[in-house]
Amino acid sequence: MNTVFRALSDPTRRHVLELLRHGPMTAGELAEQFDVSKPTMSAHFSVLREAGLVVSERRGKSVVYELQLSVLEEALLGFTKALGLGLGGRRAAARRPRRREALGR
């Protein structure tokens, strides 16, 4: 359970989980949404995988991620979101323009 709390404590990782609610995405598609380096994103994916919140599958050259939340984990995610835990990190993430927005897409 510690790994789950650790994974949910970070706003970037919570944002990744929110994005995956719309369906499976490749690592590249997910990374596009954040203005952080690839190794940092890989570390985030690794934490989420270790906590069992996402599953990944290699397809050709890309890795596809899919959400794998239990009901309790989903409730925890909603709870942390509602309480705005890790708000400092979220504000920092909001200051960083998303690559898509920066490109005017």
Q: Which is nearer to another protein, 27 or 36 (CB)?
A: 27
H-helix or E-strand containing 63? Answer: strand 62-67
Q: For Cα atoms 105, 34, 47, give the angle at the middle one, nearest 5 degrees.
A: 150
How far is residue 88's CA from residue 105's CA, in Å, rounded to a whole number?
27
Does position 71 interact with another protein (CB under 8 A)? The reply is: yes
Binding another protein by CB under 8 A: which of 6, 28, 62, 72?
72
Does position 55 interact with another protein (CB under 8 A)? The reply is: yes
96: DSSP letter: S
Does position 19 interact with another protein (CB under 8 A)? The reply is: no
Residues 6+ apart with CB under 8 A from 60: none
Binding another protein by CB under 8 A: which of 46, 70, 78, 97?
70
Binding another protein by CB under 8 A: which of 66, 91, 96, 101?
66
- Interaction site with another protein (CB under 8 A): 21-24, 52, 55-57, 64, 66-72, 74
